[in-house]
């Protein structure tokens, strides 16, 4: 028996015979199986690919797309490593700008460059070297898959030719000269730049909240639906939009209310074709004489593009949908008393004569008492006009093809949590008791905790879209989306209450307080993080929990690295509204084969500015954790899968060599 057979025996092969027979259809003889083992072993010894972690994008599509294009500064670092001693900083900036925005940058080059032949020759040489650098840790097969079909052969030839060899130098240069002389230089430059972008990020992890207040959530989803390797752990705002797409009217009202609060109707109207005209008509009539001061959109008066009349209409629409939301939520809490949320029903606690509302035994003065659609005797009943309006909105959400496509993408790439290479990813919280133990949470009349809780929630929310789900179960699943948005024990919220009503109608900040769940404080302890990692069966000497959701106030000295390095919180405030709070404009956590790096971003001005001046948005980069030795593919989750394939192929070799399964040269098994 040869050394490669040492782990196998005849009994084991017989037990796995059916699997091996299927495997033999792909690898029909010793030569084919041996070659595949050699290929897989070679892959196992490559450095692991670069992983990027981002969180809480909140609809800021331009900043997000720029991060994908520049790989959070990683491309500039590669260019600097290659040309830092031979190019000026301004030249490096311009080359990077070309890599990020090749089509747009080439238009500028044509209008400013005097000698295009020189430009093409120099730039093509530079881009080939950059592409060689970013592709060096991948197999030729993987690189080939990233190449555009029309230039695949040429790029592959250029990437794998050694220009240090004299006889190959002429071959290399002749290819580039032909590209220029045939008028293909522009297209080839664009293709090379996009390959560099693709290969600079091996895996993209998004820790929730594509959606929220920014104007381009639908544009982010368009990008992701055509992106390569990515995954998402759903955030509270993602779940809200998913619930709206499922037809949950409470979620629909909340989605519209949040959009109006920040004067962002682009995603609703342009992205998904939601018809808001009925809401506008109803709001103008109902609140014609109401200043709706508390519902004025939160915009920068100097920078907003909306005229005053549009902002006035948005305020009216904002109030109209908010009142409808409070009514719908009142009915929802009564439908589900097991959620213990009836205390959030406040319309019936309003004293319309005194102008106060009683909350937890205390009377608060109301800042607004104009409720023309609220019947004090039956405050949660929708008027006929409100009922008709919410039904029209329900129809718009449930038939939107664009929204369906994006929600389907969130399902196919997403879940409540993810485990990747010893990192546990989830958006917000893990419900805990005060003593740090896992808290039981009700899901569909059963209590679950920890990993099983996340698993059950994941299955439940999917069932709302499955055709084979019984009607009663589908109705519950649809309702549960709203609980995940604002329920006190929801892993995506985990606060005592959501004080939306209080923030609109009560000036006293005491009424606005939302008590956070125990996880948000206990996660600072290393032993608590270890307990959670054990619960999810996360292995490895360097394992971590990675969260988003809660903005890190970097300007106040808060650190995203906590619990002695076991926890990383990477919500740095992509949303422009958070920039003043955090002092930065977002984080990217980068997991290289040798270390973890945390990149702080500066506010992104615009794509036009990035193209024109070559400015970037990387504020600083710091190493978070250094690995003791370079991590290879064999040390990753993917490596375990490949090793399993090698083990199966090794068994197949044993079966071939001992005549248990006959070899075939034609790809057909001969028994």
Sheet containing 618-626: which strands, arranged edge to edge?
Answer: 414-415, 230-233, 203-206, 51-54, 587-591, 595-601, 618-626
Chain-centroid distance of CA 122 in Å reads 37
d(CA 529, CA 531): 5
**What is the distance between the alpha carbons of residues 527 and 301, in angstroms, rounded to a whole number?**
48
Show Cβ contacts of residue 303 under 8 Å, excluding neighbours closer than 6 positions.
Answer: none
pLDDT at site 17 = 87
What residues does 65 pair with on adjacent strands?
none
CA atoms within 13 A on the CB side of 179: 26
pLDDT (0 to 100) of residue 167: 58
Cα dihedral 173, 174, 178, 181 sign: positive
Pairing of strands 423-426, 544-547: parallel
Predicted pLDDT at 282: 98
Report the relative pairing of strands 587-591 and 595-601 from DSSP bridges.
antiparallel
Q: For 574, what's the count of Cα atoms within 13 Å in the CB-facing half-sphere?
A: 34
pLDDT averaged over 10-residue windows placed end to end, the chain, 671 residues: 56 84 93 95 94 95 92 92 92 94 95 93 94 92 91 89 61 88 94 96 96 94 95 98 99 98 96 98 97 93 81 97 98 96 95 96 96 97 98 98 98 98 97 98 95 98 97 97 98 97 96 97 97 96 94 85 94 77 82 90 84 75 84 95 95 92 67 41
Alpha-carbon dihedral of residues 315, 317, 323, 326, nearest 10 degrees?
-100
Cα distance between residue 492 and residue 497, in whole Å: 13
pLDDT value, residue 2:
47
Instruction: Give the C-alpha distances (Å, rounded to integers) separating 113 from 98, 118, 178, 362, 412.
Output: 14, 9, 21, 72, 46
CA–CA gap between residue 537 and residue 549 (Å, rounded): 23
What is the per-residue pLDDT for 117? 92
209 CB-near residues (< 8 Å, 6+ apart): 55, 56, 57, 58, 235, 236, 237, 238, 427, 548, 549
């Amino acid at each position: 028996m040869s050394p490669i057979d040492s782990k196998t025996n005849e009994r084991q092969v017989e037990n796995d015979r059916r699997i091996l027979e299927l495997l033999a259809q792909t690898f029909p003889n010793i030569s084919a199986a041996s070659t595949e083992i050699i290929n897989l072993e070679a892959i196992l010894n490559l450095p692991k690919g670069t992983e990027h972690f981002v969180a809480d994008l909140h609809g800021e599509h331009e900043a997000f797309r720029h991060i994908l294009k520049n790989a959070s500064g990683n491309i500039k670092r590669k260019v600097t490593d290659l040309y830092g001693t031979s190019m000026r900083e301004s030249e490096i900036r311009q080359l990077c700008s070309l890599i990020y925005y090749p089509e747009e940058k080439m238009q500028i080059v044509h209008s400013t460059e005097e000698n295009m032949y020189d430009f093409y020759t120099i730039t093509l040489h530079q881009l080939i070297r950059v592409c060689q650098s970013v592709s060096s840790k991948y197999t030729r097969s993987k690189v080939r898959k990233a190449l555009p079909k029309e230039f695949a052969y040429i790029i592959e030839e250029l990437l794998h030719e050694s220009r240090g060899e004299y006889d190959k130098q002429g071959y290399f240069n002749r290819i580039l000269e032909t590209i220029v002389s045939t008028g293909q230089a522009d297209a080839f430059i664009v293709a090379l730049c996009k390959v560099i972008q693709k290969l600079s990020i091996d895996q993209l992890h998004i820790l929730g909240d594509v959606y929220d207040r920014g104007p381009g959530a639908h544009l982010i989803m368009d990008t992701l639906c055509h992106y390569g390797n990515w995954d998402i752990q759903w955030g509270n705002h993602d779940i809200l939009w998913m619930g709206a797409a499922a037809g949950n009217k409470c979620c629909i009202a909340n989605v519209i209310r949040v959009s109006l609060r920040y004067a962002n109707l682009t995603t609703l109207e342009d992205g998904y074709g939601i018809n808001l005209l009925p809401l506008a008509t109803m709001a103008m009539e109902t609140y014609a004489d109401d200043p709706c001061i508390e519902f004025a959109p939160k915009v920068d008066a100097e920078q907003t593009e909306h005229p005053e009349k549009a902002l006035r209409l948005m305020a009216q629409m904002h109030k109209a949908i908010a009142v409808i939301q409070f009514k719908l939520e009142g009915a929802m809490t009564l439908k589900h008393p097991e959620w213990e949320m009836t205390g959030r029903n406040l319309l019936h606690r309003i004293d319309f004569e005194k102008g106060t509302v009683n909350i937890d035994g205390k009377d608060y003065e109301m800042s607004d008492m104009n409720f023309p659609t609220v019947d004090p005797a039956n405050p949660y009943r929708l008027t006929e006009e409100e009922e008709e309006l919410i039904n029209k909105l329900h129809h718009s959400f449930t038939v939107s093809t664009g929204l369906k496509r994006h929600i389907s993408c969130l399902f196919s790439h997403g879940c409540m949590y993810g485990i990747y290479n010893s990192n546990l990813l989830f958006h917000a919280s893990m419900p805990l008791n005060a003593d740090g133990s896992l808290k039981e949470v009700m899901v569909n009349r059963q209590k679950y905790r920890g990993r099983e809780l996340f698993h059950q929630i994941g299955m439940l929310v999917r069932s709302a879209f499955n055709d084979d789900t019984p009607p009663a179960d589908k109705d519950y699943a649809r309702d549960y989306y709203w609980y995940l948005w604002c329920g006190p024990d929801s892993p995506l919220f985990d606060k005592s209450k959501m004080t939306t009503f209080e923030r609109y109608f009560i000036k006293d900040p005491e009424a606005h307080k939302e008590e956070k769940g125990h996880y948000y404080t206990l996660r600072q302890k290393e032993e608590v993080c270890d307990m959670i990692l054990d619960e999810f069966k996360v292995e490895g000497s360097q394992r971590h929990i990675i969260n988003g959701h809660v903005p890190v106030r970097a300007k106040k000295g808060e650190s995203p690295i906590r619990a002695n390095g076991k926890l990383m919180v990477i919500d740095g405030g992509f949303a422009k509204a958070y920039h003043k709070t955090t002092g930065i404009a977002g984080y990217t956590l980068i997991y290289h084969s040798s270390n973890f790096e945390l990149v702080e971003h500066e506010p992104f001005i615009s794509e036009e500015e990035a193209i024109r001046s070559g400015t970037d948005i990387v504020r600083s980069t710091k190493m978070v954790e250094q690995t003791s030795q370079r991590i290879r593919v064999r040390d990753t989750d993917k490596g375990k899968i490949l090793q399993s394939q090698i083990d199966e192929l090794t068994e197949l070799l044993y079966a071939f060599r001992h005549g248990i399964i006959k070899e075939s040269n034609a790809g057909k098994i001969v028994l």
